[in-house]
């Protein structure tokens, strides 16, 4: 494992910690898209189906369990916690995620590295992760309810993907034969999705103003 991969993993983990701090600390999930969280839950579930059959390392297994458990916890709090669920922006969080899930399923069925069930589901998770943040970005754009923790959470998610791109570049130059075209293309798409948010986030930080996204 190289430094870029480790930094990416830790940044991803930090983004989830920030989200849990916001939800549990303030007893509010206002400004957080349940649809995005459920999409991420689906991503982790499909990607880590091999957790008990394909051991890579203790670190790898622990990270898989952490992402599965934290994702499930966030969804549970937003759906069933009697206080937190009352703060959910249900009327605004209406992005039709079928428009994301169905194309990703079709792509995974036809464009994959190996026609096995686990490989197709893994590929589906790669495609879906690239666009899973869209309901969250749309919700923030609609409500303009962007507190510091929410803004930092989304920024950390985007930063994690940027660090993974550096990891792929590093591995390309240091590992002969390393090629992951589907992962690379999906990662680039995911980074592009974040570009607009990054611009307004960094501008608000530079100007010391509240983060606002264009409607």
Question: For 3-20, what is each residue's pLDDT tens digit?
Answer: 999 999 999 999 999 999
Residue 74 has pLDDT above 80, yes or no: yes
- Range list of H helices, the chain: 3-26, 34-47, 58-80, 98-110, 117-131, 134-143, 148-174, 181-207
CB atoms within 10 A of CB 167: 20
Question: For 91-121, what is each residue's pLDDT tens digit?
Answer: 999 999 999 999 999 999 999 988 899 999 9
pLDDT of residue 53: 82
Task: Please state which of the ranges 14-18, 36-40, 48-52, 127-131 shows the lowest mean pLDDT.
Answer: 48-52
Residue 1 has pLDDT above 90, yes or no: no
pLDDT of residue 208: 86
Phi, psi for 176 (deg, rounded to 5): -55, 130
- Give me the mean pLDDT over the 171-178 stretch: 92
What predicted TM-score, i.e. pTM, was given to this entire model?
0.93
Residue 168 has pLDDT above 90, yes or no: yes
Residue 34 has pLDDT above 90, yes or no: yes
Residue in the structure block whose two tokens are 């592009």: 192
Residue 30 has pLDDT above 80, yes or no: yes
Give the Cα separation of 187 and 84 in Å (integer).
32
pLDDT of residue 149: 87
pLDDT of residue 214: 84
Q: Answer whether 165's CB lies under 8 Å from 69's CB.
A: no
Residue 145 has pLDDT above 80, yes or no: no
Task: State the pLDDT confidence band at 211, using cuts at 50, 70 and 90.
Answer: confident
Q: By percentage, how much of the chain surpasses pLDDT 90?
A: 84
């Amino acid at each position: 494992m190289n430094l870029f991969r480790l930094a990416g993993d830790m940044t991803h983990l930090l983004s989830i910690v920030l989200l849990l701090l916001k939800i549990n600390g303030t007893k509010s999930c206002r400004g957080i898209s349940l649809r995005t969280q459920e999409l991420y839950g689906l991503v982790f579930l499909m990607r880590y189906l091999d957790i008990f059959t394909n051991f890579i390392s203790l670190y790898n297994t622990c990270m898989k369990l952490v992402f599965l458990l934290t994702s499930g916890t966030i969804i549970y709090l937003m759906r069933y916690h009697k206080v937190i669920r009352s703060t959910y922006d249900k009327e605004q969080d209406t992005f039709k995620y079928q428009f994301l899930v169905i194309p990703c399923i079709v792509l995974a069925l036809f464009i994959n590295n190996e026609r096995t069930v686990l490989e197709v589901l893994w590929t589906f998770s790669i495609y879906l992760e690239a666009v899973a943040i869209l309901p969250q970005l749309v919700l923030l754009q609609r409500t303009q309810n962007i507190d510091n923790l929410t803004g930092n959470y989304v920024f950390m998610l985007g930063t994690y993907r940027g660090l993974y791109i550096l990891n792929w570049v590093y591995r390309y130059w240091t590992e002969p034969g390393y090629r992951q075209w589907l992962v690379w293309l999906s990662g680039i798409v995911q980074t592009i999705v974040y570009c607009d948010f990054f611009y307004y986030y960094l501008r608000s930080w530079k100007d010391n103003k509240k983060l606002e996204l264009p409607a």
